[in-house]
Amino acid sequence: MEGRRTDGTDPAAAPRTYTLIGGDGRPRRSDTAGRFGGYRPGRIYGRLDCPSALRHIARGHYVRHRVFFADEATAVAAGYRPCAVCLPDSHAAWRAGSPA
């Protein structure tokens, strides 16, 4: 039986969980995937389809330091700043010192 575990369960049937970063910066388990990705060393977050992040990932960067957030408010609360490429309005507001 290909695709089955040795205990007889089907891995595709198991509920999927995701690790998201909370507003306190700690990882949390979630049943829903994050809507935003972040780069831990740069403390930056953006959309999952960000062209800049996807280029870095394709070159083999970011992956080890990638984190995920449920929403923008959580990313900001965790101390991350918005990406200038995929979130230009939020980034401009951040640079001006006002909340996004």
Domain boundaries, the chain: 14-96
Sign of CA dihedral 30, 49, 77, 59: positive
The CATH architecture to which 14-96 belongs is 3-Layer(aba) Sandwich (3.40)
Q: Is the pTM of this model over 0.85?
A: no
For residues 30-41, give the mean pLDDT: 93
Q: Is 50 left (phi over 0), alpha (psi -120 to 50) or beta?
A: beta
pLDDT of residue 55: 93
The answer, yes or no, to whether residue 1 has pLDDT greater than 50, is no
